[in-house]
């Protein structure tokens, strides 16, 4: 949920060095404007993709994921637009996405047909649709991270930062769906190699600070 960082966002103002004018709606830096513009455009792209793909989805489970994620993305988009335009707390704060189902993964590779680009729209299937939607969430996570690191407005920065885990969660939900249906396979290293890497690091010293 969006926090206020120990200060009242209603009192966050911006003074332009050239004009001396102060205003709440102007407390955005140049990089922030461009990067948030990129985030909003990416969000629209992800929602548009959901709208285009939903009529072609066959699996009821995938349709349910599309519907739930679309509703959440729509509210996230509106929250960001609200605080971006006002420069202050949005009317509806950032929510936390809760995916449906468990976290079970199937590890290992099974022989399958090599993947290749579609030659016609008739080849569109649930594997491709879930892949398109997954790519949209990955792009949104990257865009939100980049924008949050360039944002000066404290409210917008927090909304962007709080949105990143939601993008990751929605992508994770689709990844599990793909894995369950063998659209996405997860290879593993040999047990000896895995143990070697897991044991390659030790905790830092218990005494804090540098000597």
Q: Domain locations in the chain?
A: 21-99+125-198
Residue pLDDT, tens place only, 92-146: 999 999 998 888 899 998 888 888 899 999 999 999 999 999 999 999 999 999 9
Q: Indicate the average pLDDT of the chain.
A: 87
Q: Does the pTM of the predicted model rise above 0.75?
A: yes
SS3 for the chain, per residue?
CCCCCCCCHHHCCEECCCCCCEEHHHCCCHHHHHHHHHHHHHHHHHHHHHHHHHHHCCCHHHHHHHHHHHHHHHHHHHHHHHHHHHCCCCCCCCCCCCCCCCCCCCEECCCCCCCCCCCCHHHCCHHHHHHHHHHHHHHHHHHHHHHHCCCCCHHHHHHHHHHHHHHHHHHHHHHHHHHHCCCCCECCCCHHHHHHHHCCCCCCCCCCCCC
Query: Could you give the percent of the chain with pLDDT greater than 70?
Result: 85
Residue pLDDT, tens place only, 155-182: 999 999 999 999 999 999 999 999 999 9
Q: Which of 66-70, 90-94, 204-208 has the highest mean pLDDT?
A: 66-70
- The arrangement of secondary structure in 21-99+125-198, i.e. its CATH architecture, is Up-down Bundle (1.20)
């Amino acid at each position: 949920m969006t926090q206020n960082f120990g200060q009242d966002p209603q009192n966050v103002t911006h003074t332009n060095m050239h004009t001396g004018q102060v205003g709440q709606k102007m407390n955005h830096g140049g990089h922030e404007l461009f990067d948030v513009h990129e985030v909003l455009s990416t969000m629209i792209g992800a929602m548009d993709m959901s709208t285009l793909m939903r009529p072609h989805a066959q699996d009821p489970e995938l349709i349910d994921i599309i519907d739930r994620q679309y509703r959440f993305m729509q509210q996230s988009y509106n929250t960001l637009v609200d605080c971006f335009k006002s420069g202050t707390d949005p009317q509806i704060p950032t929510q936390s996405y809760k995916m449906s189902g468990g976290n079970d993964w199937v590890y290992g590779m099974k022989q399958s047909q090599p993947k290749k680009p579609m030659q016609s729209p008739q080849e569109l299937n649930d594997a491709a649709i879930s892949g398109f939607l997954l790519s949209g969430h990955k792009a949104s996570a990257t865009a939100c991270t980049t924008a949050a690191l360039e944002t000066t407005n404290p409210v917008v920065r927090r909304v962007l930062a709080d949105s990143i885990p939601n993008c990751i969660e929605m992508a994770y939900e689709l990844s599990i769906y793909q894995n369950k249906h063998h659209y996405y396979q997860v290879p593993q290293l040999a047990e000896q190699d895995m143990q070697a890497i897991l044991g390659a690091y030790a905790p830092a010293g218990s005494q804090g600070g540098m000597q």
